[in-house]
Amino acid sequence: MTSLESRPRLNHASLSAPPEELLGYAPTPAELRPHKLYEVQFWRERSGTYLDGTTFGYQTPPLTKEQLRGYPSTTYHALVGAVAGGLAGERIAFECSAALCAFAPDDNARMFLATQVIDEARHVEVFTHRLKSLGHDDTEGAMRRYVNPRMFAFHAHMRARVVDTRDFVGGVIGQNLALEGLALGFFEFNAALLADVDPGTAEILKTVLLDERRHVGFGLMRLRMLLENQPERRAYVEDTVGELSDEMMAIFEENADNMACLGVDPSEPMKKVRAYHAMHLDRLGMGA
């Protein structure tokens, strides 16, 4: 048996290398200041206000596949499509937030991202659970059938950027601004649309939405600090915001076409998606 002493020693020099040497990114004093978003205590109190007493994100049980038989089949497929699309996005955020947490440039960002990882794990769990209660035990099969292939391409793009390249700023832009920032409008619309028909699913979406607002808040705060303190990075941030937001917007536009095919008017959700995006760009000083 190998004793502890005889095991090869870890290379402490490389492990303790300052993150900026590895990342080309040094946190500024603004980023090192305390903020409530960096507190696990704040996260527990805030999320407790809407999660306490819920099971898999709801108090009112969502409609089962059998209960939905009384509705047109397009209602069922639109619901499964919304949940499967949500799950695809949550899987991206789950993987990326965990990777970003692992190589975050400072403890503030690491602390927030640790709370985001748990939020995203919860989102993956509640959407998977909902998909099963809609009769889709084969989650992967449902994903292949209902999710826009561009979403999987966006996942691969984000994995390359975050996991392989360790692009922290690009990861925050792709995850907390493009993916989550645009998703706010979609979750909000679907929660309102389902409030009367399927209040349980609306509740799931609302609890996810409240977590997502915190994630977008972190992204905006960190990007604003970066732009204020390192103006030389503005061109990179603007290019990346443009590239990744265009990718996500194309996915939402295709999804809107699919909604129209299922008889749901997509003009309202798309208006919300665009309005959120414009507001976020404005808060970064990148508005039109």
Query: Residue 58: phi, psi to the nearest 5?
Result: -140, 160
Which 3 state secondary structure label does DSSP give 7?
Answer: coil
Mapped onto helix, strand or coil, the DSSP state of residue 38 is: helix
Supply 163's token pair. 């996991």
Helix (H, G, I), strand (E, B) or coil at 55: strand
What is the smallest separation between the CB atom of 42 and Fe ion, expressed in angstroms?
A: 16
**Residue number, 90 or 167, with CB nearest to Fe ion:** 90
Q: State in angstroms the smallest separation of the CB of 175 from Fe ion.
A: 7
163 or 262, CB closer to Fe ion?
Answer: 163
Give the residue with the Cβ less far from Fe ion, 167 or 180: 180
Single out the residue of 70, 80, 50, 94 nearest to residue 203, CA to CA.
Answer: 50
Min separation Cβ 266 and Fe ion, Å: 22
- Toward Fe ion, which CB reaches closer, 180 or 188? 180
The CA distance from 115 to 223, in Å, is: 19
Identify the sign of the CA torsion 143, 145, 146, 147. Answer: positive
Q: Report how many helices (DSSP H) and strands (DSSP E) the chain contains, helices first.
A: 13, 0
Distance of closest approach, residue 116 Cβ to Fe ion, in angstroms: 6
How far does CA 23 lie from the centroid of its chain?
23
Minimum Å gap between C-beta 87 and Fe ion is 10
Binding site residues, Fe ion, CB under 5 A: 90, 93, 120, 123, 180, 212, 215
Closest C-alpha among 102, 106, 104, 112 to residue 35: 112
CB 50 → Fe ion: shortest distance, Å? 14
